[in-house]
Amino acid sequence: MGHGGGGALSAELVEHLFAPAFGGRALSALADSAALELGGARLAFSTDSFVVRPLFFPGGSIGDLAVNGTVNDLAMSGARPAYLSCGFILEEGVEIALVARIAEALGAAARTAGVEVATGDTKVVEAGRGDGVYLNTAGIGLIPDGVDIRPQRARPGDVVLVSGAIGAHGVAVLSKREGLRFEVGIESDCAALGGLVESMLAVTRDVHVLRDPTRGGVAAALNEIASAASVGVELHERALPVPDAVANACSMLGLDPLYVANEGKLLAFVPRAEADAVLAAMRAQPLGAEAAVIGECVEEHPGMVVARTGLGGRRVVDLPLGEQLPRIC
Amino acid sequence: MGHGGGGALSAELVEHLFAPAFGGRALSALADSAALELGGARLAFSTDSFVVRPLFFPGGSIGDLAVNGTVNDLAMSGARPAYLSCGFILEEGVEIALVARIAEALGAAARTAGVEVATGDTKVVEAGRGDGVYLNTAGIGLIPDGVDIRPQRARPGDVVLVSGAIGAHGVAVLSKREGLRFEVGIESDCAALGGLVESMLAVTRDVHVLRDPTRGGVAAALNEIASAASVGVELHERALPVPDAVANACSMLGLDPLYVANEGKLLAFVPRAEADAVLAAMRAQPLGAEAAVIGECVEEHPGMVVARTGLGGRRVVDLPLGEQLPRIC
């Protein structure tokens, strides 16, 4: 299960198995989406499969995830998401009404995100060879001129921003799956970030890195960036916005919010000179209202993420091996 | 199972469930791929999921299918296939060596087809919630200027061509799955058709329709075209190239070769004036060496496919309800 978790085991699979087999240059860039040139246009291209369990959870569904997950991967290269493909793998016997509800959620999420579902496919497998509904989406977006956003561009001196509170998606899915009820209901943050990214790029095209901390959470995302750019990341742990409800749920469940998946948040590495203006632009957007500075990029300890803890100590934030919560998206 | 078979039940799902939910214009065009405009480029965009059982079969594997299936969907709009995405859904416990063999087959097929695997994703589900490996690919290609190939463009007077012998893929997969052995080994025709299409377009850009007769076979493909363009199709049944080995296997298995899936063949509707030249161009290519005229497009019986049988009779060739052979691709 760990190989699908978006952590060290997933990275190994890509590095040692898929990248050599496919032989492409794009895969090895380790970005959320590939940047391509086609017919004179600069395109971002990305795919994700979705196997979340349960199919509906507080704040969203597999249909919302399938749109927002891929739209956000495109937005993390600065692209304006435009078109999605959508593949359904249905398990024999799944209720058509359930498939219809998922399709409606997917369609509504696409309209909200401003993308068009342009092409699709449906396959059916025997009962016991699937789990109701699996989805895949791939997406295409247009990268504006002058934008070059990728993990390798993190530079010492960059300020690290997060667009809002973390940990809600993973906790919402897990609580629904396990039938837990918290006093304060926790809803997934699942949302499309294309508009937020546009508002940031309106301030400066010189955003260095964007990343949505999904599987493996903020910890995995920061580790991947530190490793790709051979820079260190200092994380100000106290500055991380973690809602009390999420913190309490995590401590009950034995989870660390730093490793919990988010589906409507982004991390940004921006030059120090632009950080205040970018932060202000983010806070002016509903999806960035709680944006905060959470750290900085440093020359020390390249490839490593080090957290300054609340008590003035320091600890290494590792890349997770697998995923604390399987089938979270 | 029938809803995934590419026949009437699949069409119903698209028409009554997905198209209204997604609200896009592209899905309703019923083409193998969507034709899009992005950044000034004319793109084809398509996706397919692959759930074939077994994963390896005579003449190919799920990795070959995942490349050629999507590449061919792009080529069927006249596009030159360029980039693929690739999503793996692995069942917990599947051997990494098996995944590696599939990835290698996929990489090799991509190189043969001249496309790059640009982006990917891996998810893992619990044992008993999948079947070893499911794949999804989406693809992007560039549509040359002046090319407008889609089912709606079939016109009375068009000549219907097939690029070679039909029925091999379905029979090869089924025989492997059921442990059957025929005297003459039958291998899947799985192949990428981008080069063949280019050679046809070098003769004339005025090719009206291209379609690869996969799930549901030649019968489903011709019915979809007849229905999309509101034209009749006359099929010269004796002209259909069906190898003896396939014909014999089909009669043993109770299958009609007209309904059996192909993964390396195309049907073309071309103006009568261009038919001889296009046919010659096809025959000059290895993948079109056995190309043949198999029928014509007529004004009579719009929406219907009628076969002239060997004995001079006529019969209606229906759209299959589901698929004779589930999980054939």
Q: Cβ contacts (< 8 Å) between B138 and chain A: which residues? A: 47, 85, 87, 119, 136, 138
Q: Among residues of chain A, what percentage have pLDDT more than 90?
A: 83
Domains defined along chain A, listed by start: 33-142 (3.30.1330.10), 151-316 (3.90.650.10)
Residues B166, B168, B174, B179, CA torsion sign: positive
| Whether pLDDT at B94 is above 70 | yes
| Whether pLDDT at B290 is above 60 | yes
**pLDDT band of B28, cuts 50, 70, 90:** low
**Least confident stretch, A9-18, A65-74, A187-196:** A9-18
Alpha-carbon separation of residue A35 from A56, A80, A83 (angstroms): 32, 12, 15
**pLDDT band of B26, cuts 50, 70, 90:** low
Region B89-97 average pLDDT: 95
Q: Quick one: which H or E segment has residue A316?
A: strand A314-316
Q: What's the pLDDT at B48?
A: 96
Do residue A1 and residue B126 have CB atoms under 8 angstroms apart? Answer: yes
Average pLDDT value for chain B: 93
| Whether pLDDT at A24 is above 80 | no
pLDDT, one tens digit per residue, over A246-301 is 999 999 888 999 999 999 999 999 999 999 999 999 999 999 999 999 999 999 99
**pLDDT band of A36, cuts 50, 70, 90:** very high
Region B140-165 average pLDDT: 97
Do residue B17 and residue A96 have CB atoms under 8 angstroms apart? Answer: yes
Inter-residue contact B317 to B235 (CB < 8 Å): yes
Measured distance CA(B294)–CA(B75) in Å, rounded? 21
**pLDDT band of A26, cuts 50, 70, 90:** low
More confident residue, A129 or A184: A129
Q: Among residues of chain B, what percentage have pLDDT more than 90?
A: 83
| Whether pLDDT at B62 is above 90 | yes
Q: What is the ipTM of this complex?
A: 0.95
| β A56-57/B56-57 pair status | unpaired
Question: Following DSSP, what letter does each residue of A102-149 receive, concatenated?
Answer: HHHHHHHHHHHHT-EEEEEEEEEE-TTSS-SEEEEEEEEEEPPTT---
Region A98-103 average pLDDT: 96
| β B133-142/B41-50 pair status | antiparallel
Q: What's the pLDDT at B24?
A: 64
| Whether pLDDT at A182 is above 80 | no
| Whether pLDDT at A324 is above 80 | no
**pLDDT band of B30, cuts 50, 70, 90:** low
Do residue B87 and residue A1 have CB atoms under 8 angstroms apart? Answer: no
Q: What's the pLDDT at B239?
A: 95
Nearest chain B Cα distance for residue A276, angstroms: 32
Q: What's the pLDDT at B275?
A: 98
Could you tell me the end-to-end alpha-carbon distance of chain B, in angstroms, rounded to an integer?
A: 13
Residues 77-136, chain B: which have Cβ within 8 Å of A? 82-83, 85-90, 92, 96, 99-100, 103-104, 106-107, 110-111, 116-126, 128-131, 134, 136
Do residue A327 and residue B110 have CB atoms under 8 angstroms apart? Answer: no
Region A160-166 average pLDDT: 98
- Check whether the bond before A54 is cis (ω within 30° of 0): yes
| Whether pLDDT at B47 is above 90 | yes
**pLDDT band of A185, cuts 50, 70, 90:** confident
Residues 299-328, chain B: which have Cβ within 8 Å of A? 326-327
Q: What's the pLDDT at B31?
A: 66
Of A18, A25, A136, the CB nearest to B49: A136
Region A306-328 average pLDDT: 86
Classify A269 as helix, strand or coil: strand
Q: Cβ contacts (< 8 Å) between B82 and chain A: which residues? A: 36, 38
**pLDDT band of B110, cuts 50, 70, 90:** very high
Measured distance CA(A226)–CA(B186) in Å, rounded? 52
| Whether pLDDT at A223 is above 80 | yes
What lies within 8 Å, CB to CB, of A276 at 6+ separation is none
Q: What's the pLDDT at B29?
A: 52
**pLDDT band of A179, cuts 50, 70, 90:** confident
Inter-residue contact B164 to B241 (CB < 8 Å): yes
Measured distance CA(B302)–CA(B300) in Å, rounded? 6
Kindly identify which residue of chain A lies nearest to residue B82, measuring between CA atoms.
A38
Do residue B39 and residue A34 have CB atoms under 8 angstroms apart? Answer: no
Tokens for A68?
């927002």
Q: Check if B76 contacts A (Cβ < 8 Å).
A: no
Instruction: Match 């926790």 to its residue by tokens.
Output: A186
More confident residue, B13 or A289: A289
Do residue B38 and residue A140 have CB atoms under 8 angstroms apart? Answer: yes
| Whether pLDDT at B219 is above 80 | yes
Alpha-carbon separation of residue A280 from A162, A199, A200, A276, B6 (angstroms): 12, 10, 9, 6, 51
Q: What's the pLDDT at B15?
A: 81
Q: What's the pLDDT at B8?
A: 82
Q: What's the pLDDT at B25?
A: 59
Q: Check if B189 contacts A (Cβ < 8 Å).
A: no
Q: What are phi and psi of A142, to 5 degrees?
A: -105, 130
Q: Cβ contacts (< 8 Å) between B111 and chain A: which residues? A: 23
Region B187-204 average pLDDT: 98
